[in-house]
Amino acid sequence: MIVEKRHYFIFASLTLLLFNITCAKYENNTPWPTRGWEISKPDLEGMSLDSLSSFSNKLKRFYNSVMVRSDLVIAGSNFIFNHIHKNYSYLITAKKKLVVIFRGINTEYYSNASIAHEKINKFFSKFNLSSETFKILLPGRLTRWKGQEMFIESLSLLKTKYNKENFQAIILGSHQGRNVYYKKLLSMVERNRLSKNVIFLSYFKELPVVYYVADVIVSSSIEPEAFGRVAVEAQSMEKPILASDLGGSKETIIDGKSGFLFKNNNTNSLAEHLNSIIEMDKSKLQSIGNEGRKNVLKKFDVEKMCHSTFVEYQKLISHKK
């Protein structure tokens, strides 16, 4: 009997899958679903369109369906919950349980209180930042669906349309071998006369330090993210977040209160929102940051996520005894 229970526990642990798909699209707008443990996306740059299978491909669809062939399926957001129902409803039966448990972050790590001032001073000095400029941070690996091209275009509009000059933008993320794309971004910065305004930073070990330095954090993805950690991390650091109005960001951001949503893949909308945020006084920005921290502590703390997940594990095992 002990052996049987142990075997069942192992079975339950292995079959309880966290279904957390990120539908990222590449040059041919082909979605690339990834699983909850975040498989790294391969570099598809330069591959022919014929070599990329679409989401409707039966083999890939069957492969992804493995994640909902368990007694309990946990979606990391309502966006993923709806995605499952839309694409795998034929696998959802009365015997299965599908629940939403928002992903959580370490709110002690992503906290202003955890940042030493010496680290801030070193960061300013190392990357030649000025305390007098408005600093905009765009975190995320360099890939088209993260929207860096649109971001750079919006910075150009800040200068030409809104006459804003006194800002510095940090594009933080590795190109991961996408050299052609990286060179294109560098060329865009040069062409739009933004060399004095834009800093490319491929890696920085302590991400909270970079968040701390920024006045606003941007998530410019042009395709929906399953959850979108950047938006939650920014709010946890008490920073205003400006994100595309799609995917998980619509659930993690309280628009107008803990951050702002701009029209997806719309350069003008992004530039307009950036300009409005730059013109806000410091007390308003701090108020938005405070609301963001409250939002994360209430909904997206890792301890809450672990507790909710453990409760579902216990229910699953007890029902099978």
- When the pLDDT of each residue in the chain is averaged and rounded to a whole number, the result is 82
User: What's the pLDDT tens digit per position in 202-218?
Assistant: 989 899 999 999 999 99
pLDDT at 64 (0 to 100): 72
Q: Which domains does the chain have, with CATH numbers?
A: 2-104+301-319 (no CATH), 112-299 (3.40.50.2000)
DSSP for 255-302, please give it. Answer: BTTTEEEE-TT-HHHHHHHHHHHHTS-HHHHHHHHHHHHHHHHHH-BH
pLDDT at 83 (0 to 100): 86
Confidence of residue 16 (pLDDT cuts 50, 70, 90): very low
Q: Provide the H-helix boundaries in the chain.
A: 2-15, 58-65, 78-88, 117-126, 148-160, 179-191, 207-213, 229-236, 249-252, 267-278, 282-299, 302-319
User: What's the pLDDT tens digit per position in 255-302?
Assistant: 999 999 999 999 999 999 999 999 999 999 999 999 999 999 999 999
pTM as predicted: 0.78
Q: Measured between alpha carbons, how far is 244 from 61 in angstroms, rounded to an integer?
A: 27
Confidence of residue 221 (pLDDT cuts 50, 70, 90): very high
User: What's the pLDDT tens digit per position in 92-149?
Assistant: 776 778 889 999 999 999 999 989 999 999 999 999 999 999 999 999 999 999 999 9
Furthest-apart CA atoms within the chain: distance in Å: 75
